[in-house]
Chain A
Amino acid sequence: MDIQTQTEGPEIADDRAQRLAKGLGVFSLGLGLAEVAAPRALARLIGVDQSAATPWILRALGAREIGHGLGIFARPKSVWTRLIGDAIDVAYVAWAFRDGKRSRLWPTMGALAAVGALDVLATLAAKRSEFSKPVTSSMTINRSPEECYARWRNFSQLPQFMRYLESVTELDERRSHWVAKSPIGVLEWDAEITAELPGRSIAWQSVSPHMPLRGRVTFEAAPGGRGTEICVEMQTAPFAKLFTRAEVNGDLRRFKQVLETGEVVVSDATSVPGLHPAQPAPQGVRR
């Protein structure tokens, strides 16, 4: 089973992290172009000495800055590479203190420190808004992969065994609208199928920016004619903590019950929410 394919997807879902990274990308491009186009004027401004090598050093630093800027636009998560650039810049300015203009070098150092702090923030924000490690769970179900797939693919029936879901409405072949209950209230998002092999696997992903979420389920024939090995992977933003492994496993166990026995099995204690002694629920007075 190829679990690796799940690493693709949107890398930064958080809008602010995205904006900060891109802002720093613009800054990199601007500074880089200035360093390449007008190294002498820049050298005077920041207070480094005016030796013959200076323009070439600044042009090299500029080329590197442009590289960061382009990299960030291609992949906002790569904002961390700016930290390496910051270290080189600080080392260069510190070296320039030997014979540069100190009254200009100190403000330059201050500006580098401020930009460095923003870079650290952007790097942390980008890291935070990545997807969590996948929560995975597997179950063997005594039914064919095709039957398991067909039941799962009928998204509107998922709330029957996925406890946190209120409803799923299929909008078209690929898109669906999900409503879930959570401790902080009702959550809603739209999801779309990102990859599908009928009878084998389904991958889906939220397209609502406020709800970083993606999942994948695979259905493989179990060895020895034992039905289907079903494997689920779910990922959310780490701070969202929408699922634990136990919860995903509970969903799968109920899915197995539905397929093998026809419905979700309840006991006296589990037929009502919350802690309840193993005796018939009070509202169930029969006679």
Chain B
Amino acid sequence: MRANCWMGKKDVRVETVPDPKILNSRDAIVKISSTAICGSDLHLFNGFIPTMEKGDIMGHEFMGEVMEVGRDVKNLKVGDRVVVPFPIACGACGSCLAGLYSCCENSNPNAWLAEKMMGHSPSGVFGYSHMLGGFAGGQAEYARVPFADVGPLKIPNGLTDEQVLFLSDIFPTGYMGAEMCDIKPGQVVAVWGAGPVGQFAIASAKMLGAERIIAIDRFPYRLNMALEKAGATDILNYEEVSVREALLELTGGRGPDACIDAVGMEAHGHGIPYAYDRAKQMARIDFDRTVALREAILNCKNGGVVSVIGVYGGFVDKFPMGSFMNRSLTMRTGQCHVHRYMQPLLERIMNGDLDPTFIITHRMQLGDAPKGYDTFLAKEESCMKVVLKA
């Protein structure tokens, strides 16, 4: 089959690789109809996630048709149309039973590697380094889906791929980011990063009843989408205004009740803190640049919530612990527990509460994946989301 493979830093290529086969009795093989490039794929592309190997198949946002099922998969049959959640979860361990699917205790065969980096291992993830399992990803014609009796969501007839594809990651991720804010009527939420996840966080904050939603980014086309499509009430371009002053002004000096970091480890910013982060990251002393996270903490209202859904890889420093501790802030975070949001968010889509297709700007064939990465990374042609047809 054809698959988009990581060949090194800033080098992905569509190669011919062996077809997947059933390896465990709860596997399914899915013929992929649509797949997408995620912002977190750019962290891999840029070489900021350790334990990648030349030839790794990329991609963790995908859907398609069930081609084959293992003998213990009873709920799916050949021909079913499914969306696959990006974390791989067994459904039987303590974490899965607690709803913490992205912390599944059984789905990462390379847990020992993750333990070295992180203390304990999270779940395995499709196409996201060997530390997270060494699973082939979904930017391919076919994919093996482990624990297919737990993860994949069957899609009813009448919905297009583009309507439901983002249930695999970014819609639930943005939703969880907003849910973790514990939004109450009248509250103000600020969202750092108006990329795809930021857009869904904004849209979800609106669904959950936030009074005011402030989007922060530096690309006018992203801010405009946040304002016009996602439901932001205010937009701040940090290259033009002081975020701190603007937030104080918009909140009567209190600061936002909740701050969502939808940026993660490759934050962009200005001044000495940014230059410091960037230099350390270039020297491989640190994996993470934390400009957005620091700003979210410092600006959050006393007693507020900082919700982190942007991806981080390693250790951070210059973390404003004094501000965080003395002002009674709460941080909530995690890779999205996609499994628990898929069904309710599918219903939101079917009800018409939200049409996730608004973020799609580019449609390409799988063979054009490398061009998709370049366009998305450079934010050329107002690129927001690239969907690949396999």
Interface residues of A (CB under 8 A from B): 140, 142, 226-227, 246, 249-250, 253, 256-257, 260-263, 265-271, 275-287
Contact = CB atoms under 8 A, between A and B. Distances in A.
19 contacts: A226-B94, A260-B93, A260-B106, A261-B26, A261-B147, A265-B146, A267-B134, A267-B136, A269-B56, A277-B53, A278-B57, A278-B133, A278-B135, A279-B5, A279-B55, A280-B21, A282-B18, A283-B18, A286-B18
B105 A285 contact: no
Contact of A286 (B21, B90, B124, B134): B21
A257 B106 CA distance: 6
Given A246-B112, A265-B146, A271 B23 contact: yes
B87 interface: no
B111 interface: yes
A283 B90 CA distance: 26
A268 B112 contact: no
B19 A280 contact: yes
B contact patch SS: loop
Given A267-B124, A286-B29, 15 more contacts: A227-B94, A253-B111, A260-B93, A262-B72, A265-B24, A265-B90, A266-B109, A267-B135, A268-B135, A268-B144, A276-B134, A277-B53, A279-B56, A284-B20, A286-B19
B92 interface: yes
B134 A269 contact: yes
Interface string B303-320: 000000000000000000
A162 to B, nearest CB: 15
Nearest to A224: B94
B174 interface: no
Interface in B22-65: 23-26, 29, 53-57
Closest A-B pairs by Cβ, 9 of them:
A269-B134, A277-B55, A286-B19, A278-B56, A270-B109, A280-B18, A268-B136, A284-B21, A280-B20
A contact patch SS: loop
B130 interface: yes
Contacts of A277: 5, 53-57
Given A256-B106, A269-B134, A285 B57 contact: no
Nearest to A260: B92
Contacts of B29: 286
A116 B27 CA distance: 67
Contacts of A281: 18
Contact of A261 (B21, B92, B127, B134): B92
B377 to A, nearest CB: 21
Nearest to A261: B90
A285 B142 CA distance: 12
Contacts of A275: 53
B107 interface: yes
A275 B133 CA distance: 13
Nearest to A250: B112
B17 interface: yes
Contacts of A250: 112
A236 B90 CA distance: 35
B233 interface: no
